[in-house]
Structure 1
Amino acid sequence: MIINVNLLRNSRMNEHPFRWIQLRDFIPLKTAQELEEKFPIHSLRESVGREGHYHLHDMTLVDQDEILPETLELPAIWRDLAQDLSSPEYKKIIQELTCTNLDSCQLKVRLCEYQSGNWMLPHTDRPDRVVTQIIYLSEGWQPEWGGSLDILSSMNEEDIVQRLYPLFGSTTLFVRSDESYHAVAPISELSPVTRKTILIQFIAQSDKS
């Protein structure tokens, strides 16, 4: 695999205010640099929440465990990553780390880009989003550029338990609950780069995705 799965095997999740973890160096430096260089920005589409609670650009790579045809047209490193994330071995590793049964879940993988001024307001994910993982691909990101994933203790954006900046090559995982409040801080106009991420979700089959 081109990702550091041993990092997942040897880690334990935080329990407050819900189960979450951030891990550095999840993707080796050279691999992360190649993924960022070949990030398919021009294939992304604008996505705005119906109630205005988020604004970003995205593209789906994997849906319902299936690697999509457009993914197969991307550079080899992206195809390799899609294969790794779709493997039964990877699903088992995530299941063991999160202590969550994912047998009834299917994988969805999206590329997301937050541009200047983009954001996501405090929320909890839909109940069918059982486990979410985010991989960060913006080299040299600085805290003053915003874009942090804020772990919250309530729907109030000021109730920050932990502010997780999008460190290059790092990853964040969390298990969905009724209290798994989180948000993405707005991207500053001062940021010279966009916030590029890979969003990985294990989705319960009982509900539509």
Structure 2
Amino acid sequence: MGYINIDKLSAARLESDPFDYVVIPEFLGSETIRKINDTYPKIVQGGSYPIESLSTGMLIKNVIDELNDEPFAKAIGEKFNVDLAGKPKLFSLRGWLRAKDGQIHTDSKDKIITVLLYLNDGWAPQGGRLRLLRDGKNLENFTVEVPPDNGTLLAFRRSDHSWHGHYPYEGQRRTLQMNWMVSENKAGLHAFRHKVSAAVKGLSSN
């Protein structure tokens, strides 16, 4: 069974202000979101967790398998006009926002493309809505605000001006992050950090 909607990705318009990005609402359907949340791991602390922490039977694993497959990489590569062949990928999960999260940043130079897949069923709070920014100082100087809900996919090309951030929120906020990395060494280093973090904090299923 297919969960992701590559046709929507292929048809979506690539925006370039303030940097290259694409937003696709309902990249995952509502029933898929419901089933993902029924089996999502219990995360009650901030930070990123490696997908190795996931147990059998969690639907998010099936979604990750599709994102990890060639058709998705091909569609992203064509959308951003970048050759991703042979580039290592890194997946991580988030389930809880801390008040300190969301500070303005560009992502590290180790990353080529960042993909964020939002897994929350609706989002009422003003905080936690990612904004794509024209500078690294002002959350109000934004071109688009992306609610983290309903299977929305946000993908952007990392650059020295790919500024993004959001107003503070503390509480549950479920996100799958995927990155194409510049090298295996860099991917391995980030994965190791996530594993150490998960081991310290603990991770379990619902």
Do both share a fold (TM > 0.5)? Answer: yes
How far did 1:76 drift?
4.8
How far did 1:116 drift?
5.5
Equivalent position SS for 2:160: coil
Q: Could you tell me whether the CA contact under 8 Å between 1:114 and 1:187 is conserved in 2?
A: no
Please give the alpha-carbon distance, in whole angstroms, between the structure 1 residues aligned to 2:185 and 2:161: 20
Q: Does 1:155 align with 2:143?
A: no
Structure 2 match to 1:19: 20
Map 1:59-208 onto structure 2 (within 5 A).
59-61=49-51, 68=52, 70-71=53-54, 73-115=55-97, 117-142=99-124, 144-158=125-139, 159-187=141-169, 194-205=172-183, 208=186
How far did 1:37 drift?
1.9
Q: Which one-letter code corresponds to 1:170 in the other structure?
A: T
Equivalent position SS for 1:150: strand
Q: Could you tell me whether the CA contact under 8 Å between 2:14 and 2:22 is conserved in 1?
A: yes
Identical positions, percent: 22
Higher mean alpha-carbon deviation, 154-163 vs 123-132, is at: 154-163
Q: Could you tell me whether the CA contact under 8 Å between 1:117 and 1:187 is conserved in 2?
A: yes
Equivalent position SS for 1:121: coil
Please give the alpha-carbon distance, in whole angstroms, between the structure 2 residues aligned to 1:75 and 1:57: 23
How far did 1:82 drift?
2.1
Please give the alpha-carbon distance, in whole angstroms, between the structure 2 residues aligned to 1:206 and 1:140: 36
Please give the alpha-carbon distance, in whole angstroms, between the structure 2 residues aligned to 1:84 and 1:195: 22
Please give the alpha-carbon distance, in whole angstroms, between the structure 1 residues aligned to 2:167 and 2:135: 15
TM-score, normalised to structure 1's length?
Answer: 0.80
Which structure shows the bigger proportion of residues in strand conformation? Answer: 1
Please give the alpha-carbon distance, in whole angstroms, between the structure 1 residues aligned to 2:69 and 2:184: 21
Which structure shows the bigger proportion of residues in helix conformation? Answer: 2
Equivalent position SS for 1:119: coil
**Unaligned 5+ runs, structure 2:** 188-206
Please give the alpha-carbon distance, in whole angstroms, between the structure 1 residues aligned to 2:169 and 2:16: 28
Structure 2 match to 1:64: none
CA shift digits 1:131-160 (9 cap, x unpaired): 011111111211x34101110111113322
Larger relative contact order (Cα-Cα within 8 Å, sequence gap ≥ 6)? 2
Please give the alpha-carbon distance, in whole angstroms, between the structure 1 residues aligned to 2:100 and 2:128: 9
Superposition RMSD in Å:
1.9
Please give the alpha-carbon distance, in whole angstroms, between the structure 2 residues aligned to 1:205 and 1:106: 6
Q: Could you tell me whether the CA contact under 8 Å between 1:135 and 1:169 is conserved in 2?
A: yes
**Unaligned 5+ runs, structure 1:** 47-55, 62-67
Equivalent position SS for 2:155: strand
TM-score, normalised to structure 2's length?
Answer: 0.82
CA shift digits 1:25-76 (9 cap, x unpaired): 100110111112211024x7x4xxxxxxxxx333111xxxxxx4x43x2325
Cα 1:115–1:126 shift into 2, 3 Å: closer
How far did 1:113 drift?
2.1
How far did 1:13 drift?
1.0
Q: Which one-letter code corresponds to 2:157 in the other structure?
A: V
Please give the alpha-carbon distance, in whole angstroms, between the structure 1 residues aligned to 2:47 and 2:57: 20
